[in-house]
Structure 1
Amino acid sequence: MKIRDMFAKPIDRDIQGVIKVGQDAEENIKQELEEYVVTKELQKHFRDFFSNYKKGIVGYTDKMGVWISGFFGSGKSHFLKMLSYLLENREVEGKKALDYFIEDEKIKDPMVLADMKLACNVPTDVILFNIDSKSKSAGTKGKDSILNVFLRVFNEMQGFSTDPHLADLERQLTEEGLYDKFKIRYEEMHNLNWLENRHKFKFHRDKVVKTLADINFMSEEAARDWSRSTTSTYEISIERFAQLVKEYLDSKEENHHIVFLVDEMGQYIGDNTDLMLNLQTITEDLGTACNGKAWVIVTSQQDIDSITEVQGRDFSKIQGRFDTRLNLTSANVDEVIKLRILEKTETANETLGVLYENKETIIKNLIIFNDGIEKKLYENKQDFCDVYPFIPYQFNILASVLTSVRKHGASGKHLSEGERSMLALFKESAEKLMDMEDGKIVPFNIFYDGLAKFLDHSHSAVITKALENDYINPSKEEENFNVNVLKALFMIKYVKEIEANLENITTLMVSDINEDRIELKDKVEKALHVLVGQTLVQKNGDLYIFLTNEEQEINRDIERQHIESQAITKKISEMIYAGILSEDRARYSKFGNRYNFGFNKLVDGEPFSTAQNFDIGVDIITPNSEKSGIESTLRMHSQRENKLYIDLPNDRAFIDEIRTEMKIEKYLQISSTTNIPKIEEIKAIKRVEMRQHQDRGKLYLEEALKEATFYLNGEKLDLRGKDFRFNVQESLERLIETVYHKLDYIDTPMEQIHIKRLFQNRGDRDIQLDTLESPNENAIKEVLDYIKLRTRDHSKISLKEIKDRFLKAPYGFIDIDIEWIVSKLFLDGNISLTLHGDTVSLFNTSEDTIINYITKRQYAEKLLIEEKEVIDERYIRSLRNISSTVFRLEILMEDTDMMVKKFNDYALNTINELNSIKENYTSGKYPGENIIQEGIKLLNKTRGMNNTLDIFKHLYKKEDEYLEFIELYQPIKSFFTGTQRDIWDNTQHFVSVYKQSRSYILNEEIEEIITEMEDIVSMSSPYNRIKDLPTLNNRFLTLYNEILDEELEPVKEVINQAKDRVLEELEKTNLMNKFGARYRASFDNLMERAKSCNNVATVNGFKIEADTLRRRYLKEIAEELKKRGREETKDTDDEEGIISTTPPVTRRKYISIQEINRTGSWEIQTREDLDKYLQELRAKLEKELEDGTILSIEF
C-alpha cells in the first residue's frame, strides 16, 4: 500500500501549516477554523481562559492578563488567533467563528461552551498583532517601548494615523464631530485623499494647517504652532494611555470590551528590564482604569523561565500580573499532527496493524538509543498506526531542534516568528515518502529540508559544500547518504536530549523497518569517517559534532597549535602523580605500616618534580617512549636500577585526548580572533570540549594503568588485581624489601616512651624490653661501628649525619629508631655527646633535657657524637675510694657518667651538710670554721666540671686532699652533732661572766680556772681537751656562787634601810594611803631581783638603785606636802575675805649626802685637808639653803 493512500485527508493538500498573525485571507481563516484541533490540553486552556474572561463581563476584575507560553511550533500563535476569532465572533463565509466550534463539536464541556457564547455576545474590539512587526525599530537594539506599540495599534484600530501626533488630532476632530468635514475639505482644497496621504504629513504641513483653519477648528496661527510641535518627540504616560482606552470604552455601549492579543511578546522583551517593566505597568494601569473591560493576551516561548533567571525579580513580577497562564506542551502538538495530518483510513489502519504485528520484534531491535535519556518509541500497534511513517521520538526531538535552531542557526526573524511549525515539517516530510510503499520510515535527516531556507549561512553553507565535495559526494547525488548523516548531525547539534554517538545516529538514519541495522551502522560509521576526515564533523570521544564554517576554521587553528612531546609527558605526570597516584610515600607493612618511603616519580624517564632524590622510584612508560612494549629492555633496566617500571599498553587514546585538550587550551590562551561570527560562543563550546577531552584523557589513562605490565628486579610481575594503586603499593613493597635489606635489623619497634624508659631504668641491668634480651642488636652495632669509624678519623659526627646515613638505603630506619639507638649507646657508655662545645652528660644535664637534645629536630645538627674514651681503672678506684671514705657510700655501677653523677650527688649532700654547720659560726666562736669552708670549696670542684674524664683525673690527683679533709671534718661534725657544743657554750658564758665581775672578785682559784678555760677555747683543735671543760665549769660555778652570796648580804641590808626610811617619813604624814602600797611593792620587787641575780657586778648595782628609790620617794612626799600646804592657805583666806600676806611655807628637801659629795671618799692627812673638805661641803649646803628649803640630809 502506498503511503499517500493511507491518510484520511490528502497529505499533499494545501493547508496553512504555519499560522502567522496577520494572515487574514478569508479562505485561510475558514480552513483554520475547520481544521483546528482542540486537543485534551486545549480543552483545559479554553476552559481556563473563558472562565477568567467571564469575570470581566459579569463583574469587575483587575486580573486581565493572559500569558500563553510554548516552544517554537507548539501552536501558541494558532491558539492566539483562535481566541481573536472567537472574541470578535468573526463571521467567515456566512458563519460565525463560534459556530465552527459548535458544529464540529470541538468543545466537549457544555460549561466551557456557555462561557464562550457569553464572550462572543459581548461587543469586543480585537487587536491582534505581532509586536515585533508593529515596532518601528528593527533588530534587537533600540526597540520601541511597549507603550508606543500599544498606542500605535490602538490608534490604528480606531482608524487613526499610526503617527501619534496626527492620531491625537484625528481623535480631537472626531470628538468635536469635525473629522469627516476635515477629510472632505482636505480633498476639496488640495485634491488629496487624507487617509491615503496622511503618512506624507511632513511634506503637506501647510495644507493641513490651512484645512484646519478653514473648518474653524483653530486659527491658522494656532494650527501652525501645532504643526511645529509635531516635530518634537511624542510623549505620553502609561496612565494617560490607560485613560484613553477607558475614554474609548466609555464612548461605546455598555460592557464594551477591548482585547490586545500580542504575539511573540516574550521574544520581543528578551532580557530588557525596561521593556519588562513597561508591560507590567501597562497591564496594571489598564486593569485599574478599565475594570476588566480591557484585556492583554500575550505569547512567549516555552523557555520563559530561562529569562526569569536572567531578570529574576522583575520578570517574575510581570508574570504575577498575568493571572491566567496557559502553557502549550509537546503533547498538544503530537495530538494536532496525528489528527490533522496523520489520521489514517480504516484500511490503512488494518494494513499497518498487520505490518506491526509481523515486524514488532524487528522494529524494537532496529530503533534503539543508548544514551540513557528517555525517548519515546512505538508503545503498541495503535501507536504505530497513529504516527506512521514517523517514529514517536521525532516529535520531542524535533521540538527541541526548532528551539535550538532558533537560538543558534536561524536567519533573520522568520523562524523565530513561527514560520516553521511542527505541523508544516511533519506534513512536508510525509509528502517526500508518499509515493513509497508501506514499511518506509521518515529518517530524521528529512526534517532538515523543511528548515534549510531559514538557516543562516554558517550552517547551510556546510551542507551545500558537502554536496559539492568530491570525497563526500563523488557522484553529486541530490540525496547523498553521507550528506544526509551530516544533516542529521546538524539537526541535533544543540539538542541536549540526544547524544550524537554512533548507535543513536544509526537510529536517526533508519528509513525502512526492514533495514539491517548492522549494515546501516557500518554505513553510518563510514559516512562519519568521511565527514570527520573532511573536517565537517568533529569526533569528541564517542560523540560526533557538526561543525559550522566558523567552528571548522577554529578547529583548523587549534590543530595547528604545536604541543611538545615533553609537555604531554609533563601533563601525564601531573594527571598520575597529582591525581590518580597522589601518594608521596610507599608504605611498608611491617610493624603496622610503621615505615614508609618517598619515591621518585617519573614518566618516560622525566621526573614529575625537580625535588626528587629518593632511593627508589616509579617510572611509567607510555607509548611515546622508546622502551614501550620492549620486555627485554624493561627487564634489564629494572634489574640495574632501584625502580619499578610500569609499561602502559600500546594504546594512544589517552595521549590523543591529552594532546587535543592542550591544543584547545593553548588556542584559547593565545587566540585574539575577532572577525569570526559568534567567536565567544564557539570559544565557550571549546572550553566545554576541552574539559571533556580532559575527562576522557583521565578515563583512558586510568584504563591503561589498569592494564599496565609491571617490571621489578628484572622480573615481569604477575599482578592479578586490577586496582592500579594497589598494584603499585604491592610492587613498591617488594622493591623496599630489596633496596632496604637491612631494615630487618630493627626487630623491635621503639617509640618515645621507650627512650624515656631507658633513662628511667638505666641503673637496672636486668631490665628487658618486650621479650628480647637485646632488642635491635644488629641495628645498634651498625650505628656504633659507624660512630667508631668516624671517631677514629678524629672527627665528631652530628646526629643529623647519623640520621642521613641510616634513613637511606640499605637501612631505611626512621628517626625514632635512630634516636632510641643513640639513647641506648649513650646510656651504655659507648658514646659521648657535645652541644655548643659543652659535654652533655647525666651529671650536668637533666634526663628530660638530654631526651630533648636527642629527639628534637632543632638539635639534630648541633648535637655532636663520638665514641666515648675508656676511663683508666686507677681513676675509677680513686673515685670509689673517695666516695666510700668521705661520703660513707659505695659507687658500684659501671657507667662512668653515672658514677660521676652519683659522686656529685653525694658531694652535694655533704656540701649541704657543711653549709648547715657553717651557719653555727654566725652565732658564736667555734673551732674548725676554716676547715668547713675549705671542704665546701673542695667538694664543689667536680660539680663545676663538665667532662667525665677530667673529673676522674681530678679525683685521682686530689685523692689525698679529700681523705685529709674527711679526717679533719669528722671531729667538727661530732662537735656540732653531740653535747660538745653545749659544754663549749657554757664555758664561753662563764668566762664572759667572770670578765664582767672581775673587779669585784678577789679569788686566785677562780682566776686559775678561768685561765685554763681560755686556753682550751682558744685552741684551733680543742677536741681532745673539751672533756676537761665540764669539771672546770662545775668548779667555777661553785666558787662564783659563794662569792655572789657574800656580795648579796650588804645589798639586801641597803634595800631594807632605804625601804624603812621612806616608810618612816611617810608615817609622819597623812599620805600613807596614797603612796604606801606602791612604795612597798617597789622595794620588794627590787629585793627579789637582787636575790635572783647571778652576777656579782650586777648585784652591787642594786645598792645604787635602792638609794635612788629612797631619794625619789622622799622627794615625792615633800612635793605632795608642799602642794597641800598652798591649798589650805588659799581656802582659809577665801572664807575670811582677807587677802593673805603670810609668806609661803618653806618646803622640805631631801638630799642624799652622795648628791652633795660626789667624791667616793675623803683622804685626810692634815687639818688643812679637813678644813678644805668641810668648806666645800658647807658651800654646797649653803647653796641649797638659798632656795628657801628645809634640808633633810640622808646619810
Structure 2
Amino acid sequence: MRTIAKKYPTAVVMLDLGAEQLSENASATVSTVLYWKILQWAGFSKEKKIARLEFTLDRRGIYEEFKTKYRERYNTEWDEIQNDPLIGVARAAEIVPFVLPNDFPTPESFRNLRFDDARNLRDLAQEIIDICIKTARKDNPDIENVIFFIDEAGQYVAPRSELILNLDGLARNLKELGRGKVWIAATGQQTLNEIVEKAAYNSAELNKLRDRFPIAIDLDASDIREITHRRLLEKSEEGRTILLDLYGQYGQALVSHTRLSGTKLFKGDPDAEIFARLYPFLPQHFDLLLELIRTLARSTGGIGLRSAIRVIQDVLVDKNRILGLGATTLADREISTLACVDDFYDSLRADIAKVLPHVVSGVDRSAKIFDGRPVIVRVAKAVAALQPIETFPRNAENIAALLYPALGSQSLVDEVKEALRALTKEEECGLKEDPQSGGYLFLSDAVKPLQKKRNEYVPTSSDFTRTKIQILKEGSSDHQLFRIQPSSKLEGSKEVKAAVKLNRNPVIAGNEDIEFRLEFIDSGIWDEKKNELLVSTASQAELKNSIVLLAKNDDALMDLLSEAIKSSEIVKDTNEGTVDRDVSQFLRAERRNEESSKDLAAAALDRALLDGLFVFRGKPTPVREVGNTLEAAIRNILGIAARDVYRYYHLAPIRLSTDAAEKFLSVERLDRVPAELDPLKLLVKDHGTARINMAHPALTEVLHVFQSKIVDFGGRLQGNYLQELFSSPPYGWTKDTVRYLFAVLLRASEVELYVPGADGPVRTPGSQAIEAVKSTVAFNRVGVSSRDIKPSIEVLDRAAQRLESLFGEEVLPMEENISRAVSRHMPDLTEKIGALPDRLRLLGLSGEDRANQVLGDAADLRKGDAGGAAAILGGKECQFLEEIIWARSLFDALESGAEADVRKATAVLASLDQLESAFPDISKSLLSEIDRDTAKNILLSDRVHERIPELRGIIRSLADKTSVRYLSEKNDLDVAVKNGLNSLESMPEWSKVEDEDRKEIASRLSRGLPETADESNPVRSLHDLVVFRRTLSGLLDELRAKIKNMVPRPPGPEQPEKYDAYLTPEALLGSQQRVIKTKEDLDSLIKALREKLEPLIKDNKSILIRGSQ
C-alpha cells in the first residue's frame, strides 16, 4: 500500500464497522456510517448537528471566520469543544447568528433546529468523494485517488438484506462516480462464499454483493503461522539449539502422542525444523486455533483472522490480562512445555461464552465438582474449546493429543478416558457423548427441562416388563439371549423349537409344544418359589411341557433397566425434528445411553440366567450344569425335555417325503415294496408271503390310540384331527409320517376311509385311497374309522343339538332326521359364505384356506345325502361346527362395515411402512411399535372381526397424528418453496426466460399438494409431502440449470460450403450448342459428361456445377 501511495498519490480512509458503528443505531447502513466517519476524518465534529453545521460553513468558505469569532467570544479554540454534544451545541448557537444571520437570526433558531437527511445514495457518495479529495489536498495538492478500507463488512451486512443492498449500491456509485480513481476494499472474518452459505435468508443478495467485489485475497493458516513466527516466536540461536536437541530426544514420542485423526486440520507430523520454528506450538495448533477463531467470529463478529496474533499473544504472555492472579503464562513455563488446547480455552473463554454460554457454565460446574483433580478440569476445558468446531472429532484420543503437556511426557489417553467417564457420569456437568455431532459436548440449558423430566420419570412395572422382554428378544452384540429361537435335535431327525415367556408375557411367541418360562424373583423367597415350582411343574397340566428358568433379581440390573426406560421415554416423547440443535444432541445422547444401558442389561440378564435354575416336571437342574453358556444350556435342557415331551417319537423317528404314503399304496403287491418305502421295517414275510406286521410298536400304538378316540368321538375321525393328534406331544411325528402309517393300516384292513366324492367307504388301496393320502391338504378332508362301527345314541344326540344351535330348528336325534336337516339348511348357508375365501384374499386377510376348508367340509357333509353327517357332527369335539360358525360370523361382520375398516387400515399401514423405509424418524412419532404390531396382528388374525373396534381406534389415532404432522410439514414446505422461487427469480437469466417457461417452472415448485391430508389415507399424503420437501433442493438445482439452458444463444455467421472443383456448363459441354433429338444423341452427351467428371470423382473430390454468368 505504501508503494501504491507513493506512485499514485492516494487518500486512504479506514473504517472498522465492528468498532466504529454508530452507537445510537447498530444497524445503520454502511453509507451512513462511512459518511460520519469521513466527516470526523476531515476534522468535523462527532456530534451530528455540529458536524452538519461545520460542513455547511466549510462549503460556504466561512468555517475559519466561525472559529475566529468563537475564539474571540470564549477565549479558547473551537477544536477543544466541538465534540461535546451539550456545551458544543449551546456555544455554537451563540456564534451562528454572526456568521449565518439570514439562516439563523437568533441562537434559538439554531438551538431548536431538527433535521433529517433526504439525500439519495448517489448524492451521498458524491459528497463523500468531494470531502475526501478536498480534505486530502490540504496536505497534498496532487492527490486524485481515494481508497476506502471497510473492515468487518461481511459480518455487519450479512444478517439484513437492506444493509447488503446499501453496501452494493455504495460500491456501485463509488465506482461509477470515481471513474477508476475511487476504490473500496471490504474485509471480513471469512470469505463471502462462507457468509453466503451461513446466511440462507439473504443468499441471493449476498451473491450479488460477491459479484460487486471481484478481487478476493484470502489468508490461511500458513500465513498466520509465518506472521506469528516473525513477530512472536523468533528464537535465539542458543534456544533453537536446545529445541533441536529436545526434538532429537523426544521427537518420535511427541509425534506419536500428538497425532490427530479424522480431521483435515491435521496435515502431517512436524519435523525438527518446524518444531523449533513454531515452538511452543505445533502446526496443528495453528490450524485448530484459526478454525476456532473463524467459528467464533461467524457468530460474534468480535475477533477474526487479524486477531489471531493477539490470541496467540494472550496464550503466550496473557497480554490482555485474561488469566487470573497467580496463573503461570505459557512463556514462563519450563522450556519443554507445549501449548495445549486448555490454554486456548483460557484465552478465548469470554468469546466462547458469547457464542456458547452453556459450555463455559459446564466447565465452571466441572471445575467446582472436581476441584483438586486438574486432569478432569483440563479435559472439560478441552471439550469446551473444541465444541464450537462442529466438524472436529472430540474423541478421547484427539483430546489427549491436544492436551499433551511437554516433551518426554507419557500419553494421556487413559487418563482422558477416565476423566470423560467421570464427567459424563456426573449429570450436573452436562457432558454427553454424541458421535453424530462430533463426540463429547456440553449440553445447553435448553435441555434442562428435558433432563429434569427424565430424572423425575418413575418407570412402572409394565415399563420394566416391556423393556426386559425387548432386551431378551433382541439381545446385544455380545449376548444373544433369545434373539435366536431356542431349538434342539431329537433322535437326530426332528428339530424341536420352544417358545419363550417372561412369566406369562410372550418373548418369542409361536405354536410350539414346549416353552421356556423365565421367572425373576428376589433372593429372600428363592427357596420358597423353588419348592413351589417343584410341585406345580409335576402336577399342573398347563406346566407339563414348560421349562421354568428361575433367576434372581439384581438391583444393578433394575438400575440399568430404569436408565434405559428413562432415556427411551424422553426420546419417545420429544420430536427431534422440531427442536433446536442442543436438544437434538441431548436426544441423540439419550438414545445412545438407552442402547448402552440395554447392552449392559443384556449382559446382566445373561449372567443372572446362567446362575439360575431349570425346573422341568418337578426336577431341578442348575443352568451351569448343562452348559457353559446360556445358549448351550438352553439347547441342552431343551433336548432333555424333548425326549420326555415326545416320549413316543422314537417309535417312528423318520422324516418321510410328501409322496411316501402315495407311493406305498401305489405298489400292487407288498412283496414288491422297495426298502425306501418301508423305513420302519413294517413288512415281514410269512411262509414266503409279505404281510404287515401289526405287532410293530408304531402300528400297535397308533391303532390303540385311534380306536380309543373312535370310542370317544363316535364312529369317524377327520384326517386333519389325526394329523394334529400324532404330530403333537407325546408323538411329534411329521404329518407325512402320520399319513404313511394310516396308509399302512388301510392296507392292513384295520381302517376305512371316507373320501370326498366317493360313493361309500374306501377300504382298499385304489385310486381314491391314493388321492386321499396324496397330501396333507387332501388327507385333512378324509374321514377315517375302524371297520363296521356305527354312531352311538350319544353321538346322534350331540349332532342333533349342534344342528339346533346352528340353524335354530329342533332336530330329532336320529340319523335320518340329522341328514334331512343338513340337506335342507346347509346349501343356503354355504351359498351365503361362498364368496368368503375370495373376499378374504382380496382384502389381504388370513383365513382364505380356512374358509375354503369350511366350504369343502360343508360340501362333503352333504354328499351321499348327508349320510355321514351324524358321525361328523356328533363327536365329543366338533371342529366343523366351530369353523362354520366362524365363517358365518366373519361374513356378517364384513357385511356390516368391517370390510371398509380393513381396507382403510391396510392402506394406511402400507403407506406407513413406505414412509418408514424412507423416513423412519417420522413414522415412529406417528404410531408406537406396540400399536403397529397390534394392528398388524389383528389383520393377520383370522378372527379380525372380533377386534374391529380396537383396529378402528388405532387407525383413527394414527390419522389424527398424521394430519397434525402434515399441517406442520406443509407450512415448512410453503416457506421453502417460496424461498426457492425467490432464489430462482433472483438469477440474472430469469428476466430472459419466456413467461410461459416461468409459469411452467413455478408450477413445478407448487406441485399442487393439498392444504390438508387426505382423510382416506393421510399417511400417503404425508409421505408425498415429505418426499417433495426432501427433494426440493435437487429440484431447485435442476430448475436453475434449466433456466440457464433456456436463455437463447446468439447465432453465429453462416460459413459457405467449400468444394474441390467449380465447373460451368461451358467447361463440361463446350461453347457450341448441342441438340438432342434421338436416344443416340443423349447417350453421346452422357458419355461426354462421364469422361469429364469420372476422374474427379475417383479422386474423392466434391464438385459444384455453377450456371453461366
- Give the TM-score normalised by structure 1: 0.48
Bigger-Rg structure (1/2):
1
Judged with a 3 Å threshold, the aligned counterparts in structure 2 of structure 1 residues 854 and 805 are, in CA distance, closer, same or farther, namely same
User: Which residue number in structure 1 is paired with residue 15 of structure 2?
Assistant: 128
1:472 aligns with 2:377: no
Judged with a 3 Å threshold, the aligned counterparts in structure 2 of structure 1 residues 785 and 128 are, in CA distance, closer, same or farther, namely farther
1:772 to 655, 677, 693: 677
| Distance of 2:548 and 2:560 partners within structure 1 | 24
User: Which residue number in structure 1 is paired with residue 801 of structure 2?
Assistant: none
State the shift of 1:299 in Å.
0.9
Partner AA of 1:570 in structure 2: R
User: Which residue number in structure 2 is paired with residue 424 of structure 1?
Assistant: 313
For 1:871-882, list aligned pairs within 5 A: none
| Distance of 1:637 and 1:154 partners within structure 2 | 102
For 1:986-1005, list aligned pairs within 5 A: none
Partner AA of 2:467 in structure 1: K
Judged with a 3 Å threshold, the aligned counterparts in structure 2 of structure 1 residues 484 and 132 are, in CA distance, closer, same or farther, namely same
1:867 to 782, 785, 791: 785
Q: In structure 2, list runs of 5 or more residues that go unmatched.
A: 320-327, 683-696, 791-861, 871-1109
1:196 to 82, 88, 95: 82
Residues 473, 507 of structure 2: 8 Å contact kept: no
Residues 750, 817 of structure 1: 8 Å contact kept: yes
Residues 132, 264 of structure 1: 8 Å contact kept: no
| Distance of 1:163 and 1:366 partners within structure 2 | 59
1:446 aligns with 2:367: no
Structure 1, 683-692 or 423-432: larger mean CA deviation: 423-432
State the shift of 1:387 in Å.
2.9
Residues 490, 642 of structure 2: 8 Å contact kept: no
| Distance of 2:395 and 2:524 partners within structure 1 | 35
For 1:594-633, list aligned pairs within 5 A: 597=497, 599-602=499-502, 605=503, 607-609=505-507, 614-617=512-515
| Distance of 2:610 and 2:737 partners within structure 1 | 36
2:751 to 830, 833, 841: 830
| Distance of 1:799 and 1:943 partners within structure 2 | 17
| Distance of 1:364 and 1:165 partners within structure 2 | 64
Structure 1, 239-248 or 121-130: larger mean CA deviation: 239-248
State the shift of 1:348 in Å.
0.9
For 1:233-632, list aligned pairs within 5 A: 236=120, 256-270=144-158, 272=160, 275-276=163-164, 279=167, 283=171, 293-301=182-190, 304=195, 306-307=197-198, 315-316=206-207, 318-361=209-252, 363=254, 367=258, 375=266, 379-402=270-293, 418=307, 421-428=310-317, 432-454=329-351, 455=353, 458=358, 472-473=371-372, 483-495=377-389, 507-515=401-409, 525=418, 529=422, 535-536=428-429, 538=431, 540=433, 558-564=454-460, 567-568=463-464, 570-578=466-474, 597=497, 599-602=499-502, 605=503, 607-609=505-507, 614-617=512-515
| Distance of 2:45 and 2:15 partners within structure 1 | 17
1:788 aligns with 2:707: yes
State the shift of 1:345 in Å.
0.6
Partner AA of 1:439 in structure 2: S
Residues 458, 550 of structure 1: 8 Å contact kept: no
Judged with a 3 Å threshold, the aligned counterparts in structure 2 of structure 1 residues 325 and 391 are, in CA distance, closer, same or farther, namely same
Judged with a 3 Å threshold, the aligned counterparts in structure 2 of structure 1 residues 189 and 250 are, in CA distance, closer, same or farther, namely closer
Judged with a 3 Å threshold, the aligned counterparts in structure 2 of structure 1 residues 511 and 704 are, in CA distance, closer, same or farther, namely same
Q: Secondary structure at the match of 1:599?
A: strand
| Distance of 2:337 and 2:21 partners within structure 1 | 45
User: Which residue number in structure 1 is paired with residue 565 of structure 2?
Assistant: 662
Judged with a 3 Å threshold, the aligned counterparts in structure 2 of structure 1 residues 557 and 870 are, in CA distance, closer, same or farther, namely closer
Partner AA of 2:187 in structure 1: V
| Distance of 1:326 and 1:450 partners within structure 2 | 28
Partner AA of 1:196 in structure 2: Q
| Distance of 2:769 and 2:46 partners within structure 1 | 101
Partner AA of 2:513 in structure 1: D
User: Which residue number in structure 2 is paired with residue 694 of structure 1?
Assistant: 594
| Distance of 1:291 and 1:173 partners within structure 2 | 28
CA RMSD between the two structures: 6.7
Overall identity of the aligned pairs, in % = 16
For 1:894-933, list aligned pairs within 5 A: none
Residues 574, 608 of structure 1: 8 Å contact kept: no
For 1:809-848, list aligned pairs within 5 A: 809-812=729-732, 830-833=751-754
User: Which residue number in structure 2 is paired with residue 938 of structure 1?
Assistant: none
Provide, for residues 341-365 of structure 1, a one-character-per-residue CA deviation record: whole Å limited to 9, x for no partner.
1221101111222233233455456
State the shift of 1:445 in Å.
2.9
| Distance of 1:336 and 1:267 partners within structure 2 | 24
State the shift of 1:791 in Å.
1.9
Judged with a 3 Å threshold, the aligned counterparts in structure 2 of structure 1 residues 772 and 386 are, in CA distance, closer, same or farther, namely same
Q: Secondary structure at the match of 2:217?
A: strand
User: Which residue number in structure 1 is paired with residue 946 of structure 2?
Assistant: none
Residues 341, 403 of structure 2: 8 Å contact kept: yes
Partner AA of 1:691 in structure 2: R
| Distance of 2:198 and 2:54 partners within structure 1 | 40
State the shift of 1:385 in Å.
1.8
Partner AA of 1:536 in structure 2: C
**RCO comparison, higher one (Cα < 8 Å, 6+):** 1
Judged with a 3 Å threshold, the aligned counterparts in structure 2 of structure 1 residues 626 and 560 are, in CA distance, closer, same or farther, namely farther
Q: In structure 1, list runs of 5 or more residues that go unmatched.
A: 1-85, 90-97, 99-116, 475-479, 673-677, 873-941, 951-1195
Provide, for residues 1057-1080 of structure 1, a one-character-per-residue CA deviation record: whole Å limited to 9, x for no partner.
xxxxxxxxxxxxxxxxxxxxxxxx
Residues 35, 128 of structure 2: 8 Å contact kept: no
Q: Secondary structure at the match of 2:186?
A: strand
| Distance of 1:169 and 1:809 partners within structure 2 | 111
Provide, for residues 1102-1128 of structure 1, a one-character-per-residue CA deviation record: whole Å limited to 9, x for no partner.
xxxxxxxxxxxxxxxxxxxxxxxxxxx
| Distance of 1:725 and 1:272 partners within structure 2 | 65
Judged with a 3 Å threshold, the aligned counterparts in structure 2 of structure 1 residues 166 and 472 are, in CA distance, closer, same or farther, namely closer
Residues 359, 442 of structure 2: 8 Å contact kept: no
- Give the TM-score normalised by structure 2: 0.51
Provide, for residues 80-132 of structure 1, a one-character-per-residue CA deviation record: whole Å limited to 9, x for no partner.
xxxxxx2xx4xxxxxxxx4xxxxxxxxxxxxxxxxxx3896252443422257
Judged with a 3 Å threshold, the aligned counterparts in structure 2 of structure 1 residues 294 and 616 are, in CA distance, closer, same or farther, namely farther
Q: Secondary structure at the match of 1:867?
A: strand
Residues 635, 716 of structure 1: 8 Å contact kept: no
| Distance of 1:690 and 1:171 partners within structure 2 | 65
For 1:1009-1020, list aligned pairs within 5 A: none
Provide, for residues 279-299 of structure 1, a one-character-per-residue CA deviation record: whole Å limited to 9, x for no partner.
556556665665654434231
Judged with a 3 Å threshold, the aligned counterparts in structure 2 of structure 1 residues 848 and 785 are, in CA distance, closer, same or farther, namely closer
| Distance of 1:271 and 1:638 partners within structure 2 | 76
User: Which residue number in structure 1 is paired with residue 942 of structure 2?
Assistant: none
Q: Secondary structure at the match of 1:328?
A: coil
Residues 647, 709 of structure 1: 8 Å contact kept: no
User: Which residue number in structure 1 is paired with residue 843 of structure 2?
Assistant: none
Q: Secondary structure at the match of 2:216?
A: strand
Residues 762, 769 of structure 2: 8 Å contact kept: no
State the shift of 1:404 in Å.
5.9
Judged with a 3 Å threshold, the aligned counterparts in structure 2 of structure 1 residues 296 and 850 are, in CA distance, closer, same or farther, namely farther
For 1:1051-1090, list aligned pairs within 5 A: none
Residues 807, 815 of structure 1: 8 Å contact kept: yes
State the shift of 1:591 in Å.
13
